[in-house]
Structure 1
């Protein structure tokens, strides 16, 4: 051993080692803190709660939830039964894990791994979730008695997959997701997003209305189960020559109900949608929560419940001042949009 090997460590070298050790500790602490914050309030997960005493939530990512909500909305626009939506969701779960991917086996693309070479559409069309969902339903409804067939059989007749039995493993979760996103189960769907997505961007009422009409149909903003004139659907009043005064729409609601406006405190823009039935209201409310991050929706309320992006880990809460016994339930779905920081 040389003489230099036995010399005491220099003071500045020891300080450097201590500083490096503290840096490592701070990094670990920062990582743990970041993980805690993300899991509590960040854009981490969406959940569907099950009914019954032994509840076991089904969890998915916000991207997957948004795609599932779109698939469900397109089925709703076509007035298809829940079974059709369940088949579509289970198929997309197997084919793409509910992700709109730009790759796959050979030329397969999108949520349902549809192939341009097999007549499903162009690459651009197939990677549009609204289009691809519509094409899936187009082929599904041509199958005689599809709603009474086993899910694997119905899905396989549309997809012609090399692994037809693989769809079966997704049926339970697809059924659970369908019940929530169609509105049959109230307040059963939640996403933890952070404050309106956490990116400081403002929501656009025009963008929200456009997405709603594209996925649910133009009559959605009038709260009608039947198509209404485009002017009414877009929040524009009918002329007297259209059979009503300047305040009425074909759905029987004033034009201001279907249009965007400021919220009650006059600070945040809001989109209101009349909901004639609870299931319809919860269908729209859950759709809004699923798309909250991308559309910068800060708050959703319906009936006597409210979901707030800033406290989304708490899920749906009872709305302040509401009392189901006094008939004060909110009869429209309200989407309050974020404002820019």
Structure 2
């Protein structure tokens, strides 16, 4: 009887100990995220990363830079900041491109402005002879002059996928979903003002004939608006017969019968 009792106690004790082990629970999917699809590849990005990527691409339109320039800029930003606009870095480096005030890239508050920082990068890239024919990492290094220029090479493939998605040539290739409670009150006017500052073109002036060589500016503006919808409280973005709605979640874009006039962008 004693043997049975001890065995029972041991079994109960073992069960109690093993039952205290933490359960393996699958991590919940992010409630806010963006997806890009291009060149037969699909990638997920944090909302901030996608928004900054859209801006880096948009500034290329303002300066009439080719898609190759965007690929070089993207490879640079992946290496320097992973598309987060950080206010710290090596020595006095700041921002997306980790530009240094002491190296005459601008004042700290200017460098932290994504539009200013991106424009500065492209202006320097323009001065690199034959940058479009160079390997991506060499062109990036010619601008950045970093300690290890070859490090940019590892980001080329992803940067090409992103450039093809954000330049608008693939239509609704970027979609985001948000928690509605995080969105501010809708401010369409402010969103359009920032679109004009980024792209150098008023979104109300679409369609543009003989636009920049960067890509399809109308669609590029549309995906920029989607990545910034949380910031401006946008509930929908419509371009042509395609509409992105915030309430659609991961479904994102859909074809609608009441779309915008051909080549025009509607934000609500």
Structure 2: tracts of 5 or more residues without a match? 1-22, 210-214
Equivalent position of 1:60 in the other structure: 45
* Correspondence 1:63-78 to 2 at 5 A: 63-78=48-63
Q: Which structure has the bigger radius of gyration?
A: 1
1:50 — aligned with what?
38
Q: Report deviation, 1:177.
A: 0.9
- Cα separation, partners in 2 of 1:211 and 1:321, compared to 1, 3 Å: closer
The two structures, once aligned, show a CA RMSD in angstroms of 2.4
**Residue from 114, 121, 124 that aligns with 1:136:** 121
In the TM superposition, residue 83 of structure 1 has moved relative to its aligned partner by 0.5
Alignment of 1:197-236 (within 5 A): 198-199=181-182, 201-223=184-206, 225=208
SS across alignment from 1:185:
coil
The reply on whether 1:291 has 2:223 as its aligned counterpart is: no
Alignment-derived partner of residue 99 in structure 1: 84
Which one is further off, 65-74 or 205-214? Answer: 205-214
Deviation of 1:60 (Å) = 1.1
Give 1:189's match in structure 2, choosing from 164, 169, 174.
Answer: 174
**Structure 1: unaligned runs, 5 residues or longer:** 1-27, 227-277, 323-327, 337-341
8 Å Cα contact 2:237-2:245 kept in structure 1 = yes
Separation (CA, whole Å) in 1 of partners of 2:236 and 2:135? 39
Structure 1: how far apart are the matches of 2:206 and 2:223?
A: 16
Q: Residues 144 and 225 of structure 1: is their aligned pair in 2 closer, same or farther, counting only changes over 3 Å?
A: farther
The ranges of structure 1 where at least 4 consecutive aligned residues each deviate by more than 4 angstroms after the TM superposition are none
